[in-house]
A = this chain, B = another copy of it.
Amino acid sequence: MATPRNTTNSVECWGTYETVLHGPEIGNPFVDIKISAEFRFKHRAVEVDGFYDGSGIYRVRFMPDTVGGWTYLTKSNVPELDGKSGRFICITPTQRNHGPVQVRNTFHFDYADGTHYFPIGTTCYAWAHQGDELEEQTLKTLRSSPFNKVRMCVFPKDYPYNKVNPQYYPFERDATGSNDYTRFCPAFFQHFEMRVGDLMELGIEADLILFHPYDRWGYDGMSSEVNDRYLRYVVARLSAYRNVWWSMANEFDFCRSKSMEDWDHLFRVVQESDPYQHLRSIHNGVLIYDHSKPWVTHASIQSSDFSRIQEWRQTYRKPIIYDEVQYEGNIPEDFGDISAQELVRRFWEGTAAGAYVGHGETYLHPLDILWWSKGVVLHGQSPSRIAFLRKILENGPPEGLNPILSQICSWRNTTNRVAGKEGEYYLYYLGLHQPAEVKFTLAPNVLYTVEVIDTWEKTITPVEGKFQGAFTIKLPCKPYLAICIRKLDQGKPV
């Protein structure tokens, strides 16, 4: 198992410290036995739940956020697990560990160590249920991809192109396939958390989808009591992984067994169980959830309509991620048949309007191995362009791009088309427009440099000269261009 464990008595900051305890195997420990621990750093105490991992083994995991000496003391309703104490040292993290991602500057993200994080997500719903061979190929593909977040389901998925049985099931099942919802299957979760750990090693956030409607095993129709216990178990097992995000559901409005009140309740269960307050969202089918609710950290949107971004930014005051804008591919289903050009256009449209956009790929495959669901291999032409966009974001203002609402062009409606930082940085995406020239009006007496970006050809062409006030930029007559304007600061672009 690749699960990160402390083999010495030290753990890096935002790593996973785990204490292993041995206790009863009789009865149903998943239901009967409570185990938790209070972790202390100086006068601060954090209480975290542990979990039963089968075979009499109980684990309590903890993700320390401060370098120095920590202690812990367990609590349980059985004596063997109660009152166990210990201490460990939290050490400086390795260079690739920046901590968990959190919201910053209202509409953006960073890691806990202050490193900026621009989400460039992809979707592989069921990649972690495909068996080791395919899963390891997926990890290999991800390693050289631009993606720093993966949307993935905890439960197995039943859907067109996703009909194979998983290797593991989350609950014990009898010979007829009937679930015992009182008994989790440790092997399932051990495997699943290994894959979450693999993503962590790659520096990729795991946007974990906790419920979804694509089901033939019963997981979409569990009782409220089982749902709550499942959530608490998942949180106890996985919240000490720094790369975890909680997505309450995929297409929540297509889950017929749960009402809006149920979703609100399930959100609160996660919110109160997670000691680290990982990011929380919920992904829609056709009905947009009210993302202004306090337990939502950012909006997770299925839509290709970017015209509502300003409204949502103002209403929610949270980051807006369009994590499903249809996928590059050629399947008969219309959510998965857009061209690479069109997907890349949508990435830029969303970015220029002040949101973040996610990727997916759905090319027909003789064995039904589609990236969007099973991962394995990317076939499309969009990822290299998305990598190019990511580079541009990372070279832009570190605090992220916000919509520019001032009128910077004569005779052009730039609403939803220019993002950046007023006075300093403007990224203007032209999309399907192909003017021979664009006339800008910026501040007089401030010098700017200008680059013409071909978002499809992945070229950045500096325009000769320095610009101020009113000026005109000539363009080749072609689609998918952007113009980047940067303030010169003491002779150098900002």
What residues make up the interface of A, taking CB atoms closer than 8 Å to B?
A: 160, 330-335, 337-339, 342, 364, 409-413, 432-439, 472, 477, 479
Contact = CB atoms under 8 A, between A and B. Distances in A.
Given A330-B436, A332-B412, 10 more contacts: A160-B411, A330-B434, A331-B435, A332-B410, A332-B435, A332-B436, A333-B435, A339-B432, A339-B479, A342-B432
8 contacts: A331-B435, A331-B436, A332-B439, A333-B411, A334-B412, A337-B433, A338-B432, A342-B432
B479 A332 contact: no
Contacts of A160: 411
Given A339-B432, A339-B479, A472 B332 contact: yes
Prevailing SS type, chain A contact patch? loop
Contacts of A339: 432, 434, 479
A411 B333 CA distance: 5
Nearest to A437: B332
A334 B364 contact: no
Contacts of A439: 332
A437 B334 CA distance: 10
A332 B428 CA distance: 14
Contact of A412 (B333, B409, B432, B435): B333
Nearest to A364: B436
A476 to B, nearest CB: 10
Nearest to A362: B435
A440 to B, nearest CB: 10
Contacts of A410: 332-333
Nearest to A412: B334
A413 B334 contact: yes
Nearest to A435: B337
A477 B340 CA distance: 12
A52 to B, nearest CB: 42
Contacts of A335: 411
Contacts of A337: 433-436
A426 to B, nearest CB: 16
**Ranked 10 nearest A-B pairs via Cβ:** A337-B435, A333-B411, A330-B436, A334-B412, A337-B433, A342-B432, A332-B435, A332-B437, A330-B477, A332-B439
Contacts of A331: 435-436
Contacts of A436: 330-332, 337, 364
A190 B439 CA distance: 41
A330 B435 contact: yes
A225 B198 CA distance: 79
A274 to B, nearest CB: 36
Contacts of A333: 410-412, 435
Nearest to A342: B432
A332 B438 CA distance: 5
Contacts of A479: 339, 342
Contacts of A364: 436
Nearest to A326: B433
A435 B433 CA distance: 25
A342 B332 CA distance: 23
A336 B332 CA distance: 34
Contacts of A338: 432-434
A369 to B, nearest CB: 15
Contacts of A330: 434-436, 477
A187 to B, nearest CB: 34
